[in-house]
Amino acid sequence: MIKAGIVGGTGYTGVELLRLLAQHPQVELKAITSRKETGTPVSAMFPSLRGRVSLAFSEPGKAPLRQCDVVFFATPNGVAMGEARALVDAGVRVIDLSADFRIKDVLEWERWYRMKHAAPELVAQAVYGLCEVNRTAIRTARLVANPGCYPTSVQLGFLPLVEAGAVDLDHLIADAKSGVSGAGRRPEQHLLYAEAADNFAAYGVMGHRHWPEIRQGLAQIAGRDIGLIFTPHLAPMLRGIHATLYARVTREANFQALFEQRYAAEPFVDVMPAGSYPDTRSVRAANHCRIAVHRPSESARRADTLVVLVVIDNLVKGASGQAVQNMNIMFGLAEASGLEQLPVVP
């Protein structure tokens, strides 16, 4: 059994990790930390876990994290970078769900996250945990930077086109919408029910922290810099991301076949039949990414433009499910182990 610990188990990604790991056939939960909730039984805060998780939240400094095989950080940005080194040095493998180790250019990270990086030496060691791209490196990684939710959807949607060199890499457009759980569990006015319900709004148009992460990943695949317009929106739903991606064709191909072939062996990427319209409900609470490729008709003004539709659950494939998928790869388990839950409808 893999002994697992979670640092920061009270947020949405933390409880999602608990839900998934409690059902994993080869994982034993050893510790869940929370300074504020120390001593509180996990099931008292999350009754959905009654009978499945018997642990109480523990003080981070006193939790048996060094006795774990793997520790997940489900913490705000800036926490893991101060605590991961001691665990890595102790031989514990670390999966960080925050943004602390995602961006390789430390100065760029500091500019976007507005704090000094506490462990720049670990950034170079960290493997970016987009399984469909970095599976080989993830197997031997000591520290995995779990991708963000928007970056997962956008990169998976553009990936086959960028790999094939079939689109204009200087003019990629990502128009993405997320449910309110993507902003975390902190009480903020714009996330109140009366504010978010019956409403739809863009944000971060002048710059969003996930933009450099997406550009970094696509540039690595392309072998050159890329141009990207990324506009996120807050949608009046609890879970889910819907990304509508646009790219101008520079080399003709059978794009449906291109996507099907690229993802044929991927357990969690579903390329839907031509003409399909994936919706967020089709991936709710599951570790799936569904993709549909559209080409405007020849009579349309922009027949040279591809439209790619991508949906994921922001808390699962966009966060905790992908983290468990990374753990499975790191420990040589079947990649789908503990992640075979079907989407929830309605």
Is residue 32 located within the same domain as residue 121?
yes
With b for 16 or more beta-carbon neighbours within 10 A and e for fewer, the 43-72 pattern comes to: beebeebeeebebbbbebeebebeebbbbb
Q: How confident is the model at residue 300 (pLDDT cuts 50, 70, 90)?
A: low
Check if 289 is active-site: no
If asked whether residues 121 and 59 sit together in one domain, one would say yes
- As a 3-state breakdown, the chain gives helix, strand, coil percent values, each rounded to 5, of 35, 20, 45
The CA distance from 7 to 31, in Å, is 8
260's enclosing H/E stretch is helix 255-262
Helix (H) or strand (E) holding 28: strand 27-33
Q: Which pLDDT score, from 0 to 100, does residue 183 have?
A: 76
Q: What tokens appear for 117 in the block? A: 């990086």
Whether 292 and 233 have beta carbons less than 8 Å apart is answered as: no
Work out the mean pLDDT of the chain and round it to a whole number: 95
Could you tell me which residues come within 8 angstroms of residue 70 by beta carbon, excluding any fewer than 6 positions away? 2, 3, 4, 5, 92, 93, 94, 95, 327, 330, 331
Quick: pLDDT tens for 137-179: 999 999 999 999 999 999 999 999 999 999 999 999 999 999 9
What sign does the CA torsion over 284, 286, 289, 292 have?
negative
pTM of the model: 0.96
Domain carrying residue 154: 150-313
Distance CA 151, CA 159 (A): 11
What CATH number corresponds to the domain at position 44? Answer: 3.40.50.720
> 321-330 vs 12-22: helix axis angle to the nearest 10?
50
Pair (186, 259) in one structural domain: yes
Tell whether 102 and 159 lie within a shared domain: no
Q: How many CA atoms lie within 13 A of 151 on its CB side?
A: 29
Does residue 222 form part of some domain?
yes
From the list 68, 131, 149, 289, the catalytic residue is 149
Q: How many domains does the chain have?
A: 2
Segment 226-279, tens digit of pLDDT: 999 999 999 999 999 999 999 999 999 999 999 999 999 999 999 999 999 999
Task: Give residue-wise pLDDT tens across range 189-204.
Answer: 777 777 888 888 999 9
- Give yes or no: residues 67 and 164 share one domain: no
Check whether residue 228 and residue 279 sit in a common domain. yes
- Identify the CA nearest to 129 among candidates 149, 144, 148: 144
Q: In whole angstroms, what is the distance from residue 182 CA to residue 12 CA?
A: 9
What CATH number does the domain containing 188 carry?
A: 3.30.360.10
Predicted pLDDT of residue 337: 98
Quick one: tokens of 286?
């599951």
Give residue for tokens 């094939």: 164
Q: 9-44: per-residue pLDDT in tens?
A: 899 999 999 999 999 999 999 999 998 899 999 999
